[in-house]
Structure 1
Amino acid sequence: MRPMLLAVLRPLLLAPLLIAPLLTSQARAATETVGSLDGIPVIDRLDVADQPSGRTSRFWFRAGDTATAQRWLVPVIVVKGARPGPRLLVTAGAHGDELNGIDVIHRLVASLDPAGLAGTVIAVPGLNPPGLLQSTREFTATGSHNSPNLNREMPGSLDGSAVAHHAALLWQNLMRPNADLAVDLHTQSRGTAYVMYVFASNARTRRMAELMLPDAIKLDRGDKGTIENTLTDDGVPAITLELGHPERFDAAMISRGVAGLQNLMREQKMLAGTVIEPTATVTGNALASVRAPRGGWARLVVPLGSRVEQGQPVASISDAFGRTTDTLVAPQAGIISSSVTDPRVERGSTLVRILYSSPDPACAYGCP
């Protein structure tokens, strides 16, 4: 090739090489559809920016691997408003026996009209398919209670264990890239129950917690690897909303969860309407636990959600013949935020937890 002609053509010859990385980067950021199942697209990556406005879309997201060389499929619903606005991520089912949040998502989505929505709701009603199948808190396909906790694995690792790999795919390709704020839905674990209860770790998330109109807010630095804290630490304000009992759909709790999310969305200008301010929420930064001094049959003297005074009887333990062996009292004044629901208790089992406020400045957002 002649030198002059080469000089003219060189920029044109190099252009595809220069453009290719940009195209590759864009393709990697876009939604990656790999097939369909019963008419629902199956995706490896979601980018809500390329989803149509004014529409509700549904996907199966391919997450981790199973022991039979298949993929776990996680349901995803995207409600993209006709007008721009925040991206609200709502997740449920990180623990497979905590089910109220799944119906909260179903009902919230059913209540939304994309034509009247500003912004986008990204709803994931079932993060932990193996746990849901086994009705276990853990991430397990075998029912083992020694298996890991998906809600302690964020942001995961693509080169890690099965649960770490699953978490990393959720984090990198679904959750983190599509969130401006987030609410992770839970209940208490098997054998126990919560009031409507929110965990918050800073001033911004405390305001989000208040807008959920809960019974109680626990100011809490949280545990490493939770969805809430990992998102918040990465710049996405997030809260954990706890909704009552495990392994059931509680209509009253579900309705309150939907109403709380709608109230948060009104504050974010995603929905029209007046923001409702809380009037009866108790906020605390510390918990006092009342534990069984011996095994036996537990009875609660005051119900879940009650406000108690220090020294007030809250529970009793009876022996195999029904004789009361112990009457247990509140070590602090506060609200009973969680309680045992299974009367069979072992020595050391927690019967109730009392939420209260510690005056210690170090406990402003949870005691260290």
Structure 2
Amino acid sequence: MVRFGTASAVPGEMDTGRLEVGETRDGSSVGLPVAVVNGAAGGKTLYIQAASDGDELNGVGVVQRVLPRLDPSEIAGTILVCGIVNYHAFQVAEHRNPIDDTKMNRAYPGDDTGTSSERIAAATFDAAISADYVVDLHQGSTSRMIEECRVRCGTRHRLHSECLELAKVFGCGHILDQKGPDGQLARAAPDEGVPTIDPELGGCVGWDEDSIRKGVDGVFNVLTYYDFLDGHYSPTPQTRASGFEQYGAPSGGLVDFQADLGERVSRGEPLFEITDVFGQEKATITADSSGIFWRSRRLPQVATGEYVCSVGTDIDTY
């Protein structure tokens, strides 16, 4: 019998339930939606979670499409899933947990006696470190971004090669191989010996079917490669960036991008222009380094110093 919250399943069964992580302001229980898929044959454990940032919904779309396709009788090992991590933010379609104004993916490994976000992080972290592999589904918030997998443990970490392999297997096409901020699950779980990746499935408002489809394919790539499912999968080469340069607006106005997402840019090449509302040019920003146009804001209007776009740098093929 495998249990995750109130979900429990014997070999060859699947069950869904709730993982209690506290109470709302009216005293009712907060339970995260969880699932256990207990394969008929023994094997390893994969933990998948989505929506640790409440407005990043593509991962929820992946979970919604993957679970109905899983037949426990055909699986070796166990799959644990938390479909929505940031319960409070998801309810109001916001990025941060509004109860404590915290970005959930900065709260790991959490604290089971701490703030709302720390308690949720602690409960889901327990599930993550019980697994052999972790896939933490994200997206580039509501901005525009390519599909990519992030390896966040740092190149000197003892599990770096295992995390990088997992990212290559997932197969988004691009990998950002750069140590992440403290509190990210993809940084904290490797410290406990569990290879973890942070797939960033594009960026949109609501969800995007193309990005979700890539996420579904990525999950099944992992299930096949690591022998949860029968079959053969050979990872394809991925474009890897180990640097990430962000660009802000030197003045206020309207942004006109000169590069498209996923496009190669050269040092000194224009990335965007800023004009006033009458179309008069105010500034042209060029790339400091060669790389790939990785991410950009969605809305055209910017204030001085506001984020505009990012370029992945130090590019190679892995």
What TM-score do you get using the length of structure 1 for normalisation? Answer: 0.79
Runs of 4+ with deviation above 6 angstroms: none
- In structure 1, what is the equivalent of residue 264 of structure 2? 307
Report which stretch shifted further, 51-60 or 83-92: 51-60
Query: Do the aligned residues in 1 keep the contact of 2:2 with 2:36 (CA within 8 Å)?
Result: no
- Matched to 2:190, the amino acid is T
2:149 corresponding residue in structure 1: 198
Structure-2 residue corresponding to 1:55? 13
**Aligned equivalent of 1:176:** 129
Once the two structures are TM-superposed, the CA of residue 276 in structure 1 deviates from its matched residue by 3.3
* Cα displacement string for residues 134-192 of structure 1 (whole angstroms, at most 9, x for unaligned residues): 11111115xxxx811111111211222222223223333x4433x111000111123x1
Distance 2:288 2:178 in 1: 20
CA distance in 1 between counterparts of 2:69 and 2:88 reads 29
Contact 2:85 2:120 (8 Å CA) reproduced: no
- Tell me if structure 2 keeps the 8 A contact 1:118–1:271: yes
What is the distance in 2 between the residues matched to 1:30 and 1:240? 25
Inter-partner Cα distance in structure 1 for 2:199 and 2:14: 24
| Contact 2:128–2:134 (Cα < 8 Å) also in 1 | no
Which residue among 52, 62, 67 is the counterpart of 1:94? Answer: 52
* CA-CA distance at 1:239 after TM superposition: 0.6
Cα pair 1:205 1:238 within 8 Å, conserved: yes
1:156–1:164 contact (8 Å) kept in structure 2: yes
Matched, 1:247 2:205: yes
Which residue type is aligned with residue 132 of structure 2?
Answer: D
Q: How far did residue 268 of structure 1 move? A: 0.5
C-alpha deviation, 1:334, in angstroms? 0.9
Deviations 1:270-304 (A, max 9, x none): 1122213224x310111122221111111111111
Structure 2 residue aligned with 1:162: 116
Q: Confirm or deny that 1:266 pairs with 2:220.
A: no
Residues 1:328 and 2:285 aligned together: yes
Match of 2:171 in 1: 213
> Deviation per CA, 1:19-71, whole angstroms, max 9, x where unpaired?
xxxxxxxxxx9848xxxxxxxxx73xx7x6xx311122111111122221122
Corresponding residue number in structure 2 for 1:14: none
- Which consecutive unaligned segments of at least 5 residues does structure 1 have? 1-28, 33-41, 360-368
CA–CA separation in structure 1 for the residues paired with 2:25 and 2:224: 44
Deviation of residue 214 (structure 1)? 1.6
Q: Distance in 2 between matches of 1:321 and 1:57?
A: 59
- 2:306 corresponding residue in structure 1: 349
Structure 1 vs Structure 2 CA RMSD: 2.0
Residue 95 of structure 2: which of 131, 137, 140 is its match? 137
Pair 104,358 (structure 1): closer, same or farther in 2 beyond 3 Å: closer
After TM superposition, the score normalised by the length of structure 2 is 0.91
3-state secondary structure, aligned to 1:285: strand
Matched, 1:186 2:138: yes
Within 2, Cα distance between the matches of 1:241 and 1:224? 18
1:288 equivalent to 2:245? Answer yes
Structure 2: 5+ residue stretches without partners: 154-159
User: Quick one: distance in 2 between partners of 1:262 and 1:351?
Assistant: 34
Determine if contact 2:2/2:38 at 8 Å carries over to the other structure.
Answer: no
Query: Are residue 340 (structure 1) and residue 297 (structure 2) matched?
Result: yes
Q: Flag the structure with higher helix content.
A: 1
Alpha-carbon distance in 2 for matches of 1:83, 1:123: 19
Alpha-carbon shift at residue 264 of structure 1 (Å): 1.4
Taking the TM superposition and a 5 Å limit, the aligned residue runs for 1:77-92 are: 77-92=35-50
- SS of residue in 1 equivalent to 2:59: helix
Amino acid in structure 1 at the alignment position of 2:300: P
From 44, 56, 65, give the equivalent of 2:23: 65
Contact 2:174/2:239 (8 A) holds in 1: yes
User: How far did 1:75 drift?
Assistant: 0.5
Identity of aligned residues (%): 27
What is the alpha-carbon distance in structure 2 between the residues aligned to residue 350 and residue 89 of structure 1? Answer: 33
Contact kept, 8 Å, 2:262 with 2:293, in 1: the verdict is yes
The CA distance in 2 between the partners of 1:344 and 1:75, in whole Å, is 37
SS in 2 for 1:225: coil
Aligned position for 1:316: 273
Q: 2:67 aligns with which of 109, 127, 131?
A: 109
CA distance in 2, matches of 1:312, 1:196: 23
- Native 8 Å contact 2:129 2:189 kept in 1: yes
Q: Relative to 1, partners in 2 of residues 1:308 and 1:30: Cα closer, same or farther, differing over 3 Å?
A: closer
Whichever of the two has the greater Rg, that structure is 1
Q: Deviations over 1:87-114 (max 9, x none)?
A: 1101001010000000101111122221
The alignment of Structure 1 onto Structure 2 pairs a total of residues equal to 309
